[in-house]
Chain A
Amino acid sequence: MTHRLDDELVAQARAGEVAAVDAVYRALAGPVRGYLASRGSQDPDGLTSEVFLVVFGRLSNLRGGASGLRTFTFSIAHARLVDELRQRARRPDIEPVADPPRFGRAPSAEDEVLARDSANRVAALLATLPAEQAEALTLRVVADLSVEQIAHIMNRSEGAVKQLQRRALLRLRESLGVTQDVPR
């Protein structure tokens, strides 16, 4: 079941209701992990947990309702990702961490192959984009953030974020083999 992150849920989580904290995790952990994985994290699961360790610790102090929590969560995720990429640049010989075991329904072999193929395709296409374009697009599509929220996280203006998204989409469109003119 998908958990919608709304102001009421966040208020309950801030008040210490375990079910609400759990729901917050379910609502945001997937997008956080997807964002980290799409942006090239070698350990998206571990980094996701680190993000939520911070989020849970600060939950009672957060303001801004669901939108504020979402922005805060991805702000941390963004910072952790930057740190990981920096660390990797300094220590390129670090070995990637093996995937942890998966719980719940075990996907079929066909599902796994298709999912891996799709993920590889997404990663390959995203890798053709400049880092900031990929960042802006991923935060919009995976994290479901508004332009204003993305601008806050990336420390850019809203206009710059819109331009990054537009350039990213046009570049992807070219990569996907679509060549018609785009309305300005």
Chain B
Amino acid sequence: MSPLGDDRTEMSDNPFRAFEPDRPGSAAADDTAARIQALLSEHGLTDEPRLAGFLQDLAATGQEVPPPAAALRLIVGRRAGRARSSRRRMLMSGAAAAIALAVLSGAAQATDLVPGHLPRPADHHQQPIESSSGSRPAGSRTRLASSHPSSQPASASYPVGPLLPNPESSEPANPGATTDSGDPGPESSAAPSRSARISPSPSHEPEDSGDAHPTRSAEPTPSGSASKHD
């Protein structure tokens, strides 16, 4: 067998086949070309084939869809490798990865993404994950944390306590979970007055599910649904 053969993945057995990047020549490529022409035309640069070619190459960097499972496992491994990572954070990271993996592989209902309803990381391959409101087989899940927001629904079988703040992140411990309060402000960590826009940790709102890097409030408002440039 050729040495190269070992590196090739068989399509038929690969559950991540659906994440194969699109091949050139698709409708997406035509759409990209049209967008680039629109951009160039905005700036009077339509007759610039080299510039258009560069922008095509730049746009092509967004055509590769990363396989979620590999990347999510990478997150867990990377966090586990940090000297200052606590075991708790590792558990949370693993649970969060399992949620996304389960949903992306079609094994779970998206309602299982509700913060506080975390499946055990190892379970998603063994059996379908039921909705958090449904019944679960006894012993099929692990309680990841004992403390949890007091307003957690009684049916939440596997509540998760507040995340530990990440000492390496510039983000505050409060995830700033999305609210309906209106203008969320920019998500950028570079925003100097960000902390002023983030409400103090609301006890009624569970923390972001399993993510050790909670984000700031950044819910897009209707004003964020800007009309497209073209």
Contacts and interface: CB of A to CB of B under 8 A. Distances in A.
Interface string B56-81: 01111111111110111111001000
Contacts of B169: 83, 87
A2 B25 CA distance: 12
- Per DSSP, chain A at the interface is helix
A82 B7 CA distance: 34
B76 to A, nearest CB: 10
B220 A57 contact: no
A75 B221 contact: no
B224 A31 contact: no
Contacts of A33: 61-62, 64-66
Given A16-B110, A53-B210, A83-B213, A103 B218 contact: no
B100 to A, nearest CB: 5
Interface in A73-104: 75-76, 78-80, 82-83, 86-87, 97, 100-104
Contact of B178 (A61, A118, A170): A61
Interface string B196-230: 00000000000011110101101111111111110
Given A46-B74, A103-B19, A147-B229, A79 B50 contact: no
Contacts of A29: 65-66, 68
A176 B50 contact: yes
Interface residues of A, number: 99
Interface of A: 1-2, 13, 16-19, 21-22, 25-26, 29-35, 37-38, 43-46, 48-50, 52-54, 56-69, 71-72, 75-76, 78-80, 82-83, 86-87, 97, 100-106, 109, 118-119, 121-122, 125-126, 137-138, 140-149, 152-155, 162, 165-166, 169-170, 172-173, 176-178, 182-184
In the complex, the 3 A-B pairs of residues with the closest C-beta atoms, listed nearest first: A34-B62, A75-B187, A104-B20
21 contacts: A17-B110, A30-B64, A30-B65, A33-B61, A43-B74, A46-B71, A49-B72, A53-B99, A57-B113, A58-B178, A59-B110, A59-B113, A63-B180, A63-B220, A69-B220, A72-B219, A75-B220, A100-B74, A106-B8, A122-B58, A126-B58
